[in-house]
Amino acid sequence: MITSVPPPTAAPGVPWPPGLVPYVTRWSAEHELPSAVVPARGGDGIAFADEQLHDRDRHGVLWVRRQVHQGAGSPLFSKVHSVRQRYAMRRLRCQACRQPADRNAQGLLWLLEDGRADHPDWPEGQMTVHPPVCRGGCVDKAIEQCPHLRNNWVTVRVHEPVLDGVFGRLYLPGRPLPVPAAKVTRLYDAPDVHWVLASQLVATLTGCTIESAWAPRPTPTTGTRPGPAPSRTGAGPARRRKSR
């Protein structure tokens, strides 16, 4: 996500200038709405006690309920608003300004933390919770403002992002109520996806072409790495797409 350190001009009670806070950032007045999580009918998964039709996505996964008051209170730069993240991902809007993400013949534009050392064909098959970006200055602003991107960024063209999973809180079966456990990333075809209270939509990046980067591709290192390479895209390891 495009996060940034609050600028020194941000004083309590002073409105934040438009455009300074990324669209998907959560604000302090946007509270989670209290919703009792209960076992789903049939026992396979979770439900809300007072569930409404719009509480689930078209894959039947339950989504967290959160107030929408963009601009109210102060921005929580390390937090993502579930409704706006999901909107930006589904509609392929810029995560920072909500304008349509940039697209050319090679695909949509994504700004990622540099993971080229992880795998030779990174970021092909990577899963991410970060929506794409526009060309209207949001890339430059993010690189300038976000410490985790400075000297660590890559822009990628993605021919086909596949919205194929969720990030959220996994619940475990419990009596009398399901028990909240770890935050997880789950594909929609995972056997326990209906035990997840989703808060972000996940995209698998396919047809990737690296467009530009902060530095040339790092030289491959020799020697062994313990375990699988960590993801730098925020949602988990690469997923090899099934035959298409």
Interacting residues toward Zn ion by CB under 5 A: 94, 96-97, 134, 138
Gap between the Cα atoms of 85 and 202, Å rounded: 10
Closest to Zn ion by CB, 111 or 238 = 111
CB 158 within 8 A of CB 206: yes
- Residue 141 C-beta: closest distance to Zn ion, Å: 8
- Residue 137 C-beta: closest distance to Zn ion, Å: 7
Structure tokens given for 174: 């419990």
Gap between the Cα atoms of 105 and 128, Å rounded: 22
Hey, what amino acid is at 157? R
- Residue 103 C-beta: closest distance to Zn ion, Å: 13
User: Distance of CA 77 to CAs 57, 65, 116, Å?
Assistant: 26, 20, 26
* Secondary structure of residue 36 in the 3-state scheme: coil
Closest to Zn ion by CB, 134 or 170 = 134
- Residue 139 C-beta: closest distance to Zn ion, Å: 8
Q: How far does CA 230 lie from the centroid of its chain?
A: 16
Closest to Zn ion by CB, 116 or 141 = 141
Closest to Zn ion by CB, 92 or 163 = 92
